[in-house]
Structure 1
């Protein structure tokens, strides 16, 4: 795709063309600070040691509303061809993690799995993003070319509709709204209400959420003269999932840019675990590379303002458009139930699979 889309419910940033690209976040932040770039858009990978897909666009359009495509392109018939790892292997992986967590050297590790999809004709990233925006109007829809990250990503795109904002900056005000702790929604009204109420009182999920807010406090605290973090999370939802959320607001001491804040904050314990370095090493040792799933997608302008969202409920699309990889994960703590964790990933995958008309994989 020749462009970038980040559509939030109240505004959108759309670009076309590339003036220059950056596979290194430091080079991109330098271009903004020296004034040689007025806007940087793109994606950060899950693993901070990986190459970025950031670029200075040639054309920019900013709107004061959610984006809706003005063209209609049908999406092809698509089906699942492989699960990486298999459901049985994912269960065994989670069981091993729970044993390790009970030994006490880690607080939480996020375990993810991937579904490989095959399409009968090329998937248009823009058409998929438009479909996801229609199905998930309250989400943050994105589509980004990953070519800047190097040979393995040339022509690939990342497309998704995420409920989670990693960080936003406007002037000296910084806001976050982390999600951690989740429960499956149901079609029956009373059962759905009970599921949400149970999540709000779940010791396991509240502890998982606290890992994330504590991390954000540790990162943003030194950067802010004021930082407001709720003592307890609130309940929020997508069509498929209840989440625990915490609206966080801070006043920056110094003009740290939105891109610099995103680099400092990701990956949060919501996508990685805690302690962060130890959890990241476990993920590197036990999982296939996550590439840009679990990273961040966003924009930052030359005054430092910007939005970065967490790259979940998404898929990477191959250069020929005929293969896609959709991933989902869940936070594993000492009292996690492996089957529940597998079911949680299945539920989270529905946002992407529904957009492509693919039924559940297990």
Structure 2
């Protein structure tokens, strides 16, 4: 096939995107001022320090920009799940204390070299850390009821005594003791209080072993509000950082997902749309193509339930959501390719929210955010209030 170069004088002039319009087909816009506002909300409501959880690329929002915004707003710690996430933050200049809780023995030296705190749940993990003398600070984790990680209560005394022995030798410093709530809302306050009491007992035993942890932490975003724990030094905010408002604090969602109509066509009554023709038009109507699909994190299971906002009108998603695209019913609106579509936002303009998509997909908004794929560029802004 011969490729023909079009002379520049015949090429169409490139159109600059309008303000708020994606530069390409689609993008996720992250309002860092919302992240700051959410951190400040927690700082205003709770006396403890704030550990901002930016694992999983900050729930898909972008770990480094979100971490910087959180620290700027007063977060004094950062938390990540995996070692590579901690290393990325250090490589990009974040200097506040960082805690990571999933790592292997081979990663310990790298973590120690950049002064990242690691969590320890077992004697075996403790020995691994001691054998890598570059690691200085650890947090001992007690399983108080989540039963996912952490020391079993029956092994806690041995763990704390062994840690105290190594600390006396100068091999490490136990900087924190922590656990994780299995329930976070007010309806499960009894379970959360039970976990808090177990953690308090664990701290007493650790102190008897000779440890003097600088921080004790248990509460997640919801627990920070619903659990009265003045003896804890930190609250860990993950969901709340991104505006997932589980207890009605007035938090601001930080992300909106935007796209443009890629194609528009008119179909007749009786014609089907997308694979299997799950949708068949009951009238003549205009359908439009949105260039996002389940490869980008749009949940396929939401087919036939979801909607998007275009021209200030909610347009239902019709037919099956495909890998790269889905179709919406525009009715008789005279839409054209290139028109702006909001898949989700904070709902202030009538658009769906991430919670709406979570409801349609039978999941939680955390998964909607984390599921956004790498083909969706992230753009950062500071929205005026």
Relative to the length of structure 1, the TM-score reads: 0.22
Q: Which has the higher strand share?
A: 1
Q: Which has the larger radius of gyration?
A: 2
Task: Give the TM-score of the pair, scaled to structure 2.
Answer: 0.21
Which fold has the larger relative contact order, with Cα–Cα distance below 8 Å and residues 6 or more apart in sequence?
Answer: 1
